Homo-oligomer: A and B are copies of this chain.
Amino acid sequence: MKQITKYVIKNSLKRIFLYRACLARLKMMGVEKVFSYTLANDTGVTPDQVRKDFSEFGIRGNKRGGYEISDLLEKMENIFHRNKDHNIVLIGMGNLGLALSKYSKFVQRNMNIVATFDIDPFKQKIRSDIPVYSMSRLKEIIDRFRIKVAILAVPEISAQQVSDELVRAGIKGIVNFAPVLLKVPPEVVINNVNLCDELESVIYYVHKLMQDEGLKNLEILYKDMKY
């Protein structure tokens, strides 16, 4: 019944995030229009890629006229369902969980952590701005707020068990910070964020870079980021 299902965030989607961040900044600076090569320059991709990506997501500009930034941003908001608010739960109020619960960028992007959970809810209650519930109330709260997405920041050892509970409670997507490969039914989306791996990758590449200094053989060691 349970199986490992894994999805990768497509590179084109990551690039769209990149474009959006860039566009938001440009808009703040008062810029109104961009061309594919403007965006490309700012984000380190090629103009072709920008246009292909837009094409994939059904975004169209005006021939010769480039793209209207507000229009572009609006289209992206629709793609990402940013018109509506998204309610999230966070499980595990350790150091990382606490930091994530206070991460203001989520709110800025309409993603609200409406409840957090911990086996010891009293421990962190005092430091948290968001209600901390005991695990026994998981399903109740998830049902009440019709939550579909959870952030999992519990210790490795209990990650699978909590994940099972989340799935039973109707969660359809999990951002998993525990370094475990969760087993979930295929209709549940998992996005693993492994902080150790992120750091270790950099160490690995830095070592390589210093070994074969002079940038020779670079193309074997690195893949230029196409996202």
**Contact among B195, B201, B222 for A100, CB-based, below 8 A:** B195
Among A6, A79, A174, A215: residue with most chain B CB under 10 A: A6
On whether the beta carbons of A186 and B200 are closer than 8 Å, the reply is no
- Tell me whether A217 is interfacial, beta carbon within 8 Å: no
Give Cα A205 to B175, complex, Å. Answer: 12
With contacts A7-B205, A18-B181, A175-B202 known, is A105 near B196, CB below 8 A?
yes
Residues from 85 to 103 in A contacting B, C-beta threshold 8 Å: 86, 88, 95-96, 98-100, 102-103
On whether the beta carbons of A6 and B198 are closer than 8 Å, the reply is no
- Tell me whether A31 is interfacial, beta carbon within 8 Å: no
Q: In the assembled complex, which residues on chain B have CB atoms less than 8 Å from the CB atom of A203? A: 80-81, 86, 111, 149, 173
Among A9, A22, A96, A151: residue with most chain B CB under 10 A: A9
Binds B, one of A47-55, A60-68, A130-138, A206-214: A206-214
With contacts A81-B207, A204-B80 known, is A105 near B193, CB below 8 A?
no
Shortest A35–chain B CB gap in Å is 18
On whether the beta carbons of A172 and B210 are closer than 8 Å, the reply is yes
Q: Which 5 A-B residue pairings sit nearest by Cβ, starting from the closest?
A: A6-B225, A99-B99, A4-B44, A173-B206, A173-B202
27 contacts between A and B (CB under 8 A): A4-B43, A5-B44, A7-B222, A8-B11, A8-B223, A8-B225, A8-B227, A79-B204, A81-B203, A81-B207, A86-B203, A99-B100, A105-B179, A109-B196, A111-B203, A148-B206, A149-B199, A149-B206, A151-B199, A172-B210, A174-B202, A175-B198, A175-B202, A187-B215, A191-B198, A191-B201, A193-B198
